[in-house]
Amino acid sequence: MMMMASTMSDRVVLPATLRPFHYELSIYVVEMGGRFTFHGTVRIHATVAHKCKEILLNTNELEILSAEVQGVKPRDIMHDDASQRLTLLLEEPLSVSDEIVIAIKYQGVINTNMTGFYRSKYKPVVPPAASVPMVDDYHWHFSTQFEACEARRAFPCFDEPALKATFELEVELPEDQVALSNMPVKTTRKGKQGLQVVSFERTPKMSTYLLAWAVGDFEYIETFTERKYRGKPLPYRVYTTRGLKSQGQHALEHGPKIIDLFSDLFEVEYPLPKVDILAVHEFVSTLPNVWNPHT
Domains and CATH numbers, the chain: 15-216 (2.60.40.1730)
Query: What is the rounded CA–CA span in Å between residue 293 and residue 295?
Result: 6
pLDDT at 9: 52
Mean pLDDT by 10 residues, the chain (295 residues): 43 91 98 96 97 96 97 95 96 93 98 96 96 95 95 98 97 98 97 95 98 98 97 97 96 97 96 96 64 41
Query: What is the rounded CA–CA span in Å between residue 2 and residue 235?
Result: 47
pLDDT at 135: 92
The SS3 of residue 246 is: helix
pTM: 0.91
- Write out the H or E segment, with its range, that includes residue 255: helix 249-266
The SS3 of residue 261 is: helix
